[in-house]
Structures are given as C-alpha cells and as structure tokens.
Amino acid sequence: MFRIGQGFDVHQFAEGRPLMIGGVEIPYEKGLLGHSDADVLLHAVADACLGAIAAGDIGKHFPDHDQKYKDADSAVLLQHVWNLVKKEGYQLVNLDCTIVAQKPKMAPYIEQMRARIAELLEGEMSQVNVKATTTEKLGFTGREEGIAAQAVVLLQKK
Ligand SMILES: Nc1ccn([C@@H]2O[C@H](COP(=O)(O)O)[C@@H](O)[C@H]2O)c(=O)n1
Ligand SMILES: C[C@@]1(CO)OP(=O)(O)OP(=O)(O)OC[C@H]1O
C-alpha cells in the first residue's frame, strides 16, 4: 500500500539567527524566525510525512507555545515524526522538495541537505531530491522577507 503526503512552510528572515535549511547551517547575514530553529525545509518534510499517515501537522505534535520546543533542532522533530511513520509500518519510496528563496544561493548546500534528510528518513540519497528556485524577485520571497519550502513524500507499507 502506498501513501502520499505534501508539506508547505514559510518562515520570515530575522537578524542574529543561524540559517538552518534541510538540517544544514548555511552561512548568511540572517536566519529565520521561529519557535524552533525554524528549519523551513525540515518542517515541510515533517508535514509531508505526517500528511501521508493522516497524523495532522507539526503544530499539533510540537505546539509553538510549549517551551520544550524553544529553539528545538528540527532534525530531532523530524526524527520523532519518522518514528511515527515507521510505527504505522511505512518506509520511504521517495521525497521531492523545493526551497523558494531569492537568496542565498542554495546550490552549494543541496547535496549536504539530501544526505542529511536521507539519513533522517533512513533512506538513500537517491530517494531524496531537493530543488531551489527564486520567484524572480516577486512576492515575499522575492522581496527577501522570508523563505518557503514545499515537500512531497511517497511511502510504502513494508
Ligand atoms: N535560492 C536559490 C534559488 C535558485 N537556485 C538555483 O538557481 C536556479 C535558477 O533559479 P531560478 O529561480 O532563476 O529558476 C535554480 O534551478 C537552482 O538551481 C539556488 O541555488 N538557490
Ligand atoms: C516547529 C514549531 C514548534 O517549535 O515551531 P516553529 O519553529 O515556529 O515552526 P512552524 O512551522 O511555525 O510551526 C510548528 C511549530 O509548532
């Protein structure tokens, strides 16, 4: 049996925060604002996984009013979500993601992100694709106010 899920997340830029995307710290003049480390890509991946098993979203599992998740490492949150996926008896078929950012350039970090996400989802790099696009300076991402990310995951019952 196959299950598909999709995730979407947005975080605004903020000064004085590290920029975490896909579990990788990207050297940049600003980071993203959030209750957790605001890793917008890992949040989209986590939501896609939760969607695939009809288990709600990350806000339900990790409420942003809970101090436990203040500055939380989103990799740890995704690991928790992946344990729920495994408990339901599913494994990864493939994951495809898009980061929407005018800046910074993601290309130098894409392979590292794929490797980290594959590790977190206990799969191979060949099962994980990460893309990036600008919005040609249009909209909130184009004005460099924040970053968005989308993810689609396909799971198969073992
Ligand atoms: N933040 C980004 C955005 C884009 N890229 C790479 O550049 C290519 C062209 O982007 P367009 O928005 O002009 O289509 C895109 O395919 C990515 O490879 C990037 O690395 N970081
Ligand atoms: C991850 C959580 C929990 O710390 O907080 P944020 O980092 O603010 O992220 P968001 O994608 O807004 O929602 C899920 C949250 O509850």
Q: What's the start-to-end Cα distance of the chain, in Å?
A: 8
Q: Is the pTM of this model over 0.95?
A: yes
Q: State the residue range of the domain holding 77.
A: 2-157
For residue 42, how far is its CA from the centre of ligand 2 (angstroms)?
Answer: 11
Q: What is the position in ligand 2's atom list of the atom closest to the CA of 61?
A: 16
47 lines ligand 2 (CB under 6 A): no
106 lines ligand 1 (CB under 6 A): yes
Q: Summarize pLDDT for 108-155 with one digit per residue, the tens.
A: 999 999 999 999 999 999 999 999 999 999 999 999 999 999 999 999
Position 15 confidence tier, pLDDT thresholds 50, 70, 90: very high
User: What backbone torsions phi and psi does residue 82 show, to the nearest 5 degrees?
Assistant: -65, -35
For residue 110, how far is its CA from the centre of ligand 2 (angstroms)?
Answer: 23
CATH code for position 83: 3.30.1330.50
Q: Summarize pLDDT for 34-90 with one digit per residue, the tens.
A: 999 999 999 999 999 999 999 999 999 999 999 999 999 999 999 999 999 999 999
The count of domains in the chain is 1
54 lines ligand 1 (CB under 6 A): no
Looking at the CA of 78, name the nearest ligand.
2
Mean pLDDT of 12-16: 98
Strand segments, DSSP code E, in the chain are 2-15, 19-21, 24-26, 30-32, 90-100, 128-133, 146-157
At residue 91, the 3 state secondary structure works out as strand
Q: Is the pLDDT of residue 158 over 90?
A: no
Mean pLDDT of 92-109: 98
